[in-house]
Each structure stands twice: as structure tokens, then as C-alpha cells.
Structure 1
Amino acid sequence: MGPGPYFYISGSNGAELVSIYCQNRGWQRIYDNRREDYALKWCEIKCRETYYHFKEGEQLLYQIPNNGVLTSKIGLLCCLREQERVMKKISRSSNSNISAFMSFLSTRKKPLFFQNYIHQREFLLFLHLELLLKMEEFFPQSFRLDLKDERNAFFELYKEEQIWICKPSCSNQGRGIFLLKNPAAVNTLQAELHSTEEYRLSKKVLHKVPQARIVQRYIHQPLLLEGKKFDVRSYLLIACTAPYVLLFAQGYVRLTCVNYDAASDDLTVHLTNQYMQKKNSLYSQLKDETVWWMEHFNSYVNEKFRKTNGLPKDWVFTVFTVSASKC
């Protein structure tokens, strides 16, 4: 083996792309995860890194401490709920002052000049809270199935003809996802969860927690692109937190192989990721149509929607990009 630099990779999600890039740069791949002389370590979340021997400024590590806060579905849900709770608390504490302040503004005929910093700060806080999206405006109603109170709340809430989607908390590539489209499916899920809980209690294996899952209200009338479900994958890098520096990069659009049908039991109709689309029998014929680069998407929007919807030219690279980078 050469003198390095060395890189270590575990897992399979994107690993081949990273390996090819590093080898093209003359780096040497190592296979012992205990070695500490790596320049890059690329490992999945399940392969925890201790950071005991990490050399800041000399090594790159594809993982950050406490990454489960954002990289697991339950972690993200809890993070968003906490953010919502804090913002509501701030909003309530400032409402009385803001109400009086807005009443005062409504009586004025002349332009307002802030008398002091406190008034200005309260007013800016009010504007900030008003502009913030509420969680229910961008995140579907969700319940944790690993918590008894939440799963019971879901089963009590569920009504016939509703569609929900069940996802494992720590998985990718669409694995373990299924739809709950009728009472029979919901009853089966409830029975399985109850059986698992009973087994744990009877065998006194309380430390063996079943796979954590969430259920979310399914968006059964999504925005479609050429009749197909799609999503936009963009990239955001937090380069520094003090000062706060973000780097945003355009990504691409992912589409399904076939047109959307809410009644379909085929998961390739509902999930847009490439791993799932490869399971569709039409994938080999339609592969190039399942990924659009942003230039293609921009041209499509210009041609189809610019005039009819009154959008500015290159809406994708202007309005959409600015909005996405601020999310």
C-alpha cells in the first residue's frame, strides 16, 4: 500500500461514488475501521464514531456528533416539535406587548419613528413570528409508534378512507415503508404492536425495544410533474456556526416511472427515490426520465407555467432557489 492519503468507507449508500472520487485523486483505501491515520472516513449512521482520536483540521469525517437529532425521522420530528413549542412560548410572552403596540400604530396618522430599542425589537420579533411557517403548514401530522400514548392517539384518530404512511425511524432507500389505506391494515398494525409489547412484558426483555416507527398523514393529492410524483433534492452545507455560514448547491428533481394513482398499492408510484424506482419494470426504459437536472426543470417551468401562472423568467433559479436555501 502506498504512502496515502488514506480513506475508509463502510456501508453502501453512495459509497461507490466516494470511493471512485478518492481513488482518482490517488488516495488509498483502507479496510480497518480502527486505524486513525485516515484523511477521510465515510460511514453510515449505524457505525458510530467516537471522535476520541479525531484530528480537527486534518481529517474529514462523514458524520457529526449527535447526528440522530436530524438524520432519524423521530429525531427530526422531536426537533421540529421542540422548535414549535419554543416559538409558541415566545409568541405568547410577547403577544400582550405587541397587541398594545399594534393598537397604538392603528391610531397614528404620521410615520412611526421608534422611541427606543425595546419597541423596535418587539416589532421585529412580531414580524419574524408572523412570517415563520407553522409546523402543520409544511410537515404532515405525525405520531410516534414507539410511545404508547402517541400510538393510542393515532389509532383513536384514524378514520376509514384516510391514508397514512408508516416509516421506520432509522432507514433509507424506502426500506420498511408501507401505506395504511384501510381499517384492516391499521388493525393489523395495531395487533402487531400489541403482540410485540405483550411479548416484551411477559418475557421481561424490556431492554429489547421494537423498531421505532412513525406514522404520517399521507398527502394523497400531491403536486405532480407530468402526472408523476416528484421531489427536489438540494444540498445545504453548514460550513460554520460562528459566524453562521451556509453553502447551498442546486440538486436535481426525482420523478416516479409511472403516473400517480392514490389507489395504487405499488410503492414505486408513491416513493420517488431511485432505489425504489429500480424495482419498477419500466425503469430500464424510463431511467433517464426519472431524474431531471435543474436546467431541465427550469426550462420546463419557463415553457409551461411562466405565462399562464405569471411567473418571472427562470423562476427555478431565482424565487425557488432563494426559498429553498432559506428552509
Structure 2
Amino acid sequence: MSKNAEARRENEENVSAPEKTNSTTKRRQNGDDKVIRFRCDFPSTQVKVMLARGWIQVTEPNDPNWHLWWCEVNDVRQALDLKLAPHQRIPHFRNHYELTRKNYLYRNLKRYKKLLLKSNKMDEAELCNGMPLTYELPNDFRLFAEEYHKQPGSTWIVKPAGRSQGKGIFLFRKLKDLSEWRSKEFGQQVETSPPETFIVQKYVENPYLLAGRKFDLRIYTLVTSFHPLKVWLAREGFARLSGELFDLENIDDSRVHLTNMAIQLKTTQASDDKQQELKKGCKWALTKVREYLTARHGPDAVEALFQRIAGVIMASLLAVQPVIMQGKNNSFELYGYDTLLDEDLTPWLLEVNASPALTGTDTEDHRLKFDLVDDALNVLDLEARFSGRETTRIGGFDLLWNDGPVWTHCPNPSVCGQPPPTDLRKLNVFLGARNDRVQQLRRLGECLEEKKRAGWCKTIERK
């Protein structure tokens, strides 16, 4: 059996593990007897993963004896108000909205850019331009109107600041259409104070297309601490494709311009079988996207693209770092970053999701998200198997930032592209690279066992 086949077989076993009842067989990579107790009040991939690891689920809401409460965003305040013990973790920061609300993200990047410019850090400041030209309405309406008249005929897109799944998004070219949309969307609230905030952005009119369709990239980012900042980037992700061929003249059809799966499924009357086909057809694995782009543009251009995406992600996290309330380091966050590419391979940050969907839409998507959650828990290391200094990779996650950038020398030019001769350093980014997580976790486990044995032998010798 080849190594790739073996990896696929073991991954399939991991996916099916939640159905097994013998908790002993569920404890992968972990040879000790420490049992983790978790709370999760909704059926989810997270529950399946944690049960597959041999963890015990706490079902009584008043039971405080848990190590991890995978709560929803609405429960963050309740969880943190419990005065958590040092060993207890939850998957959100108290004011995560500083990053995940579109208008706050825009404000924080704008503020951070000013600080960088004052410090003459031009390259870092330029990464703060990762969002399309943005205005926060109604506050910035005069500034927007001025820019609107400078670019007659341009297409603009409206996004309610606090909504998700494409709700309320609208494309327009005429100001009267914006006024009509606002009256229809918010009704009487338009006349009240304060009205709901929304942002208007310059629409990217030249998006990069896959099979003639617009797409964005979903990239998973795990932040285990903001103070100091520690960031991991998942190798696997996917492209979400629109359901219709791109047509800039047809700005009224959301299936042409939005890639949200909720939008694609909501606007079709297809049968269940057709919807399953649509779900599969609207997603490309990030590895497939990387291979496609490499074939068309070469490995150097693609490596530069993914390095740029990582830079934009870090700019957003550094922008909110001063304002995020971390408390006693009980919080972590698995963010879903949505990034759009244009024809020049320039990435544009669309939004950051605090609760990205982790329910698989098909077998491969389930496998990806199951492994993603599993490796996030490996990084969190509630079993205390690691010292935190062993590696810059754990399973499918690569360490991008550890109170400073994590650099690497690309070991595989066929995956990363040859590094420029003038600068051999690259950020430790392997987006879309081969994710041999099963073998890597096995090797990591063996290495840790060797270190334990060596430490035990030294202790015996000293005695």
C-alpha cells in the first residue's frame, strides 16, 4: 500500500471513529490515561471529534467540571462570567467582534495603518490595504458620495456590518438604488437613531474565475493567544464557487456574485440530489486551486500569492491585538477567513468569521472539517503531551506567528516554488500543500516518546 493510500485509509478511519463505542480505540496519538471532559450543547462535528478522541461529554449545564466548553458565540459572556479555572478553555474571545464585524475590522485596519505609517513601516502599512475600498455608512456617507462621483459607472456592494451568510448584501451603480435598498432593508429604522450600520465597498469588477465562475477562498486560522499573539494556519481549505457564470452586467442575481452556500441553495428549487451535486460543484479543495494556479502562473507567483494572503491575515490580527480582551488566556478562536482573488492574483479580504460552518456538506468536506477540528485540539493540547516548543507544525496546522513571524526555508520547491536568491526566508505558510497529517502526527508522537525515554534515562543516571 502506498503512503498516500495509507493516509487516506487512516483518514477515513478517523471520520468513522465517532460511530465506535470503545473509547480506548478512539484515543489516537495519545498513550496516557488522562481523560478530558468537554461540554458542547449542540450536535456538531466538534462533538464527534471529541468523542472520537475518547473525551467524556458533560451534559448537565450546571456541571462545572469540564476542560473545554465548545460554546456558541452567544454564550461567550456567560462562559467567561463563570470565572474559569486556568485549565478551562472556550473557543471565543469576549470581544471577538472587533475582528469579525465588518465595520470594526475596517476601523481597526485603518487605525493600525496610521500607526505603521507614523513609524515609517511602509511595507506593513501596505498590507492593511487588504480590504477593498470601504466606507462605513451612515457615518461616512459624504466621503462615499464624493468618491462615488469620481468613479461614474463603477459597481459598489453593500454589506450589513453584523450579518452573515450573505444576508442583506446588495450590488448597485446608482445612488438612488442604494436609498431604495436602505428603505426596504431597514424600514422605519432609517428614521430612528441609531440606524443599523452597514459598509459600502468598491466591488472587485475583475475577479479571478474558475470555470468561468467567481470564487473566494476559505482559509482557517487558529489563534491560541492574543497576548502574546500566537497564530496557526491550516494547510487545508477550499474555494467556494458561485452557482452561475460571472456576468458583470447582471448585478441583480446573487448566485452570480456571492459564493455563500446558503445563497446558492436558497435561490434554487432543485431536488435534494441536485442540491448535493450543487454543493460538490461549488467547492474546490485548496490543493486543487493551488495546482490549477501553479499550472497557469508558475510556482513563484503562487507562492507569492499565499505569502501575501498570510500577510493580510496577520495585518488584521495585529490590528485588533491591542483591543482584544483575553482575560486569563482561557480563550482561543478558529477563524474562517474569506479572501477573493482578482485577475492580477491580488487577494482581497472580504470578511472574518468567528463561527465558520464546521458541518460537512459531503464526504470529503466532512473529512476536511473533522481533521481540522481534531488538529485544532492537538494544537491546544489539553492532554499536556507537548511542551509547546517541539515543532512549527502539528498535523494540518503550521505555526505562522509566535510573538513574531515564524520563518522557514522551503524544503520542497515543487510545492512552494524556488525562493528568491536575495531573500531565502519565507513565512511558515503551506496553504494548499500536501497535508500528510497522519504520518506527521505519528512521527511527532514517536519523537516525543524518544525524548521522554531519553529524559527518563538521564534521570536514572543522575540517581
TM-score by length of 1: 0.69
Structure 2: any 5+ residue segments left out of the alignment? 1-34, 269-273, 313-463
Query: Does the CA contact (< 8 Å) of 1:9 and 1:31 recur in 2?
Result: no
- The corresponding residue for 2:287 is 295
Larger Rg: 1
* Structure of higher RCO (CA pairs closer than 8 Å, 6+ residues apart): 2
Structure 1: any 5+ residue segments left out of the alignment? 92-127, 201-205
> CA separation of 1:187/1:158 partners in 2, compared to 1, >3 Å: closer, same or farther?
farther
Offset of residue 146 of structure 1: 4.2
Offset of residue 244 of structure 1: 4.3
Offset of residue 238 of structure 1: 2.7
- The corresponding residue for 1:113 is none
Does residue 201 of structure 2 align to residue 216 of structure 1? yes
> CA separation of 1:54/1:233 partners in 2, compared to 1, >3 Å: closer, same or farther?
farther
Which of these residues, 176, 179, 187, is aligned with residue 187 of structure 1? 179
- The corresponding residue for 1:27 is 56
Offset of residue 241 of structure 1: 4.8
Which of these residues, 109, 112, 130, is aligned with residue 138 of structure 1? 130
> CA separation of 1:254/1:22 partners in 2, compared to 1, >3 Å: closer, same or farther?
same
For 2:60 and 2:195, locate their aligned partners in 1 and report how far apart those are by CA, in whole Å: 32
Does residue 254 of structure 2 align to residue 262 of structure 1? no
- Give the stretch that moved more between structures: 159-168 or 169-178: 159-168
Other structure's SS at 1:21 match: helix
Does residue 73 of structure 2 align to residue 45 of structure 1? yes
Query: Does the CA contact (< 8 Å) of 2:117 and 2:125 recur in 1?
Result: no
Other structure's SS at 1:229 match: strand
Counting aligned pairs with the same residue, the percent is 24
> CA separation of 1:53/1:210 partners in 2, compared to 1, >3 Å: closer, same or farther?
same
1:78-117 superposed matches below 5 A: 78-91=107-120
1:12-23 superposed matches below 5 A: 16-23=44-51
- The corresponding residue for 2:40 is 8
For 2:58 and 2:262, locate their aligned partners in 1 and report how far apart those are by CA, in whole Å: 26
> CA separation of 1:302/1:145 partners in 2, compared to 1, >3 Å: closer, same or farther?
closer
Other structure's SS at 2:158 match: strand
Offset of residue 81 of structure 1: 1.0
For 2:308 and 2:85, locate their aligned partners in 1 and report how far apart those are by CA, in whole Å: 33
Other structure's SS at 1:165 match: strand
* Equivalent position amino acid for 2:56 in 1: W
Can you list the C-alpha shifts for 1:5-58, whole angstroms capped at 9, x where unaligned?
241346xxxx622233234445336374x6544433334434441523243542
Does residue 60 of structure 2 align to residue 75 of structure 1? no
> CA separation of 1:52/1:183 partners in 2, compared to 1, >3 Å: closer, same or farther?
closer
Which of these residues, 142, 159, 176, is aligned with residue 168 of structure 2? 176
For 2:58 and 2:205, locate their aligned partners in 1 and report how far apart those are by CA, in whole Å: 45
Other structure's SS at 1:133 match: helix
Query: Does the CA contact (< 8 Å) of 1:8 and 1:38 recur in 2?
Result: no
For 1:290 and 1:231, locate their aligned partners in 2 and report how far apart those are by CA, in whole Å: 11
Query: Does the CA contact (< 8 Å) of 2:182 and 2:190 recur in 1?
Result: no
Does residue 238 of structure 2 align to residue 252 of structure 1? yes
Which of these residues, 122, 142, 165, is aligned with residue 152 of structure 1? 142
Other structure's SS at 2:73 match: coil
Other structure's SS at 1:22 match: helix
* Equivalent position amino acid for 1:270 in 2: H
> CA separation of 1:44/1:175 partners in 2, compared to 1, >3 Å: closer, same or farther?
farther
> CA separation of 1:296/1:168 partners in 2, compared to 1, >3 Å: closer, same or farther?
same
Other structure's SS at 2:171 match: strand
For 2:87 and 2:56, locate their aligned partners in 1 and report how far apart those are by CA, in whole Å: 15
- The corresponding residue for 1:105 is none
- The corresponding residue for 2:440 is none
- The corresponding residue for 1:276 is 263
TM-score by length of 2: 0.51
For 1:38 and 1:168, locate their aligned partners in 2 and report how far apart those are by CA, in whole Å: 37
- The corresponding residue for 1:229 is 214
Offset of residue 134 of structure 1: 5.5
Query: Does the CA contact (< 8 Å) of 1:42 and 1:62 recur in 2?
Result: yes
For 1:190 and 1:196, locate their aligned partners in 2 and report how far apart those are by CA, in whole Å: 10
Query: Does the CA contact (< 8 Å) of 1:236 and 1:325 recur in 2?
Result: no
